[in-house]
Amino acid sequence: MILTSSRTLLLLTMIAATIRGGLGLVRGSVANRVESAFIGGLIADSLSLERHYEYDAQKIKATGGCKDYSAPGESNNGIGWGTANFHPGKRAGDLTDAGDIAIMLLDHLVDLKSTNSLSSYSFDTFAVAWRRNIEELGYGSCNFISVGRNVKVCPVGTRPGYINGGSRRTLQALGSVSSAPTGQARRDMAAEVNCLVAATHFLPLFLVFNEEEKLVHEAKDTIYVSHRHADPLAAAEFLSKTLFLMLHKDTPLEEALNTAAAASTHPLIPRWLSDARAKVAEARDPTSHLSQQGPLMDDIAITSMSRLWDIGKSEPIKIGKASPTEGALPSALYFVLKYMGNFEEALVANAECGGDSAARGIVIGMLLDAHEGWVKKNEGHRWLTGLNELERVKRQMKILREDRGDGVEEEL
């Protein structure tokens, strides 16, 4: 049988993709859903900006809630850190570091594509790009530590951005060595800090890798840019596998969650999913005490889902609302399961609970948009028109989805 030149080229392209370890075409319908889910996560992040690290849900609700984009609060109560504007220089419709670093990965992939070197992507190339964005291009040079707790406008020559504790420690470690490490040596220099936010940056890779094992591996590797704790590593494995099943296999949300949890190499992932499901059942049980808590029900639910921090003995914080994965991931799953099919209610409810609402929000936004396709169904919605990075993100994703130089163009 003699193949036509176009069919031959397609076959060679598929073989080359396999050789490159899963780097290959992402078909049009999947690419559309990836873009939608990515933007869904960014919407949730931006909606959380105003009250990010405010731990008093009653205060949030008393001051109007979080139904629209707003500039970061000037006196959010970051338990243990005091009050501050934790995102100086940011404005309504901007993102926290959760969304910023995800876009940093997207930009890096586009940069590689522009030099016909997309197949060279690795943890090491992203780690170099991440460090360069901070140390050379100034991301985060305007932060609440460097410019002060009550600053609204960044000094000339600085860029806004939140540098979390894991990132700061990793940068300090890298600065202590004379030559830049690579591979496992570089991974080992990431901070042993447990933050869910480290597991929220990987989705742009879904436009580059189309083989599940390779994609999950690369998603986990993004954690090591700044963190190396087992919990966010497990979260990235679980979330990327869940999204792969949903976006590539059309697996329903709950089935995808169950399948990914059962396959997890981390023993706590199935328990955290079970905890979230049990808490949703408790919230829906009209005879339970939790169901009687009115507008604060979700806040009470997620702050009850894990151990009490030491600081919680004197201040009103439990780990369910803070950054560590052990509370933040089951809390995010609680919102996903409780509000499944209602993207808007889920994002508002999450933001109005405060704490590390941004990391939770990215997870909620990605999963629920992958489930219901809210972004693609709601063009012109204020959450889309008001998202400051929307058009640039769409342009960058379009570049990744176009002909990759291998002669085969995406089915858009």
What confidence score (pLDDT) does residue 411 get? 32
Q: How far apart are CA 406 and CA 13, in angstroms?
A: 7
- List, as own/partner pairs, every contact residues 275-282 make where C-beta atoms lie below 8 angstroms and the sequence separation is at least 24, other chains included: 275/305, 275/330, 276/305, 276/330, 276/331, 276/333, 276/334, 276/336, 276/337, 277/333, 277/337, 279/304, 279/305, 279/330, 279/334, 280/334, 280/337, 280/338
* Alpha-carbon torsion (108, 111, 112, 118), positive or negative: positive
Q: How far apart are CA 15 and CA 12, in angstroms?
A: 5
Q: How far apart are CA 209 and CA 215, in angstroms?
A: 6
Angle made by CA atoms 160, 166, 167, in degrees to the nearest 5: 40
- Which pTM does this prediction carry? 0.91
Per-residue pLDDT of the chain (412 residues; tens, 9 = 90+): 334 444 433 343 343 444 345 555 465 799 999 999 999 999 999 999 999 988 888 989 998 899 999 999 877 776 566 677 889 999 999 999 999 999 999 999 999 999 999 999 999 999 999 999 999 999 999 998 899 888 889 999 999 999 999 999 999 999 999 898 999 999 999 999 999 999 999 999 999 999 999 999 999 999 999 999 999 999 999 999 999 999 999 999 999 999 999 999 899 999 999 999 999 999 999 999 999 999 999 999 998 887 655 555 555 555 678 889 999 999 999 999 999 999 999 999 999 999 999 999 999 999 999 999 999 999 999 999 999 999 999 999 999 988 644 333 333 2
Q: State which amino acid sits at residue 47.
A: L
**Structure-token pair, residue 275:** 């905890």
DSSP designation for 102: H
Enclosing H/E stretch for 84: strand 82-84
What confidence score (pLDDT) does residue 85 get? 85
Q: How far apart are CA 303 and CA 334, in angstroms?
A: 11
Backbone angles phi, psi at 194, to 5 degrees: -100, 95
Q: How far apart are CA 362 and CA 359, in angstroms?
A: 5
**Structure-token pair, residue 146:** 């460097």
**Structure-token pair, residue 411:** 């089915």
Cβ-based neighbour number of residue 153 at 10 Å: 11
- The SS3 assignment for 29 reads helix
Cβ-based neighbour number of residue 126 at 10 Å: 23
Q: Which residues contact 271 (CB under 8 A, 6 or more apart)?
A: none
Domain ranges of the chain: 27-400
Q: How far apart are CA 403 and CA 392, in angstroms?
A: 19
Cβ-based neighbour number of residue 136 at 10 Å: 8
Q: How far apart are CA 204 and CA 108, in angstroms?
A: 10
Residue with tokens 């984009």: 69
CATH homologous superfamily of 27-400 equals ADP-ribosylation/Crystallin J1 (1.10.4080.10)
What confidence score (pLDDT) does residue 309 get? 54
Q: Which residues contact 111 (CB under 8 A, 6 or more apart)?
A: 129
What confidence score (pLDDT) does residue 171 get? 97
Cβ-based neighbour number of residue 317 at 10 Å: 22
* Alpha-carbon torsion (104, 108, 114, 115), positive or negative: positive
Angle made by CA atoms 100, 252, 400, in degrees to the nearest 5: 40
Cβ-based neighbour number of residue 174 at 10 Å: 16
Helices (H) and strands (E) in the chain, counts: 18, 2
Q: Give the CA-trace dihedral at 150, 155, 158, 160, to 10 degrees.
A: 30
- For the stretch 349-373, what's the b/e string if a residue is b when 16 or more beta carbons lie within 10 angstroms of its beta carbon? bbbbbbbbbbbbbbbbbbbbbbbbb
Q: How far apart are CA 234 and CA 269, in angstroms?
A: 7
What confidence score (pLDDT) does residue 217 get? 97
Angle made by CA atoms 321, 373, 64, in degrees to the nearest 5: 40
What confidence score (pLDDT) does residue 148 get? 86
**Structure-token pair, residue 67:** 């139904």
What confidence score (pLDDT) does residue 212 get? 96
Q: How far apart are CA 239 and CA 246, in angstroms?
A: 11
